[in-house]
Structure 1
């Protein structure tokens, strides 16, 4: 499945999926992406984001629950470069990004709720593999996520159109 359509997937699997609230903006060059969810929960500290995106991510989408904070960015161009290098399919952040001019040219899907120039603090805090709950969805590590310009959907099973 190279081109995905969340609208078509919704029509076919309406009763089997969750749709995230339309609060996310696109920041990466890739607008349509999908993969297996890898979850992270943290607050204003992107140490774990950097650590995870520094590992092989082929076929995965990193879901970051940053508590919806608008006070600092959890992803910038340097960490996004790590994600591209390690072949992550995408990154979705319930929080902010920065370096938007650089991010828009990077061949990866990136969605976040907003952007701000402020960098995060570094306390080496955060947890991975947790069930997340934001944007009116419950997201489990290992779920399947599909994102495009229309929105983001989550499924426990892999979907095909």
Structure 2
């Protein structure tokens, strides 16, 4: 038996049957978390407008204005991806659309760790080479599937 969480072919087939009809797709982030991100973005935008109305543009150096615009744009970009990202579990492996695409085939997974945080349930996949890949589950179906995957692909000692 491998010290890693790689299950046998039978264990993997049983896992796929437990998960249900594949592909299983759902939101990567819970809708309420993504909505909170948009509310925070709106509050930041309102505050920026108020500050810019109170302080003339001539009093703020251009590098400061540019850095504020870049930071606000980056936060806006992350909020868009939190709202639109999708996690998919398929016969191939696990994929998540994000700022950069996250994906890992079943054959590359050595072990996993399910992290049930309050705001986001995560599955950390430890792969043969490279850094661990983290996936978010925003629906109860994905969260249950992540817990099952973690049980089957746990690190064995």
TM-score, normalization: structure 1?
A: 0.26
Bigger helix share: 2
Bigger strand share: 1
TM-score, normalization: structure 2?
A: 0.27
Structure 1 or 2, whichever has the larger Rg, is: 2
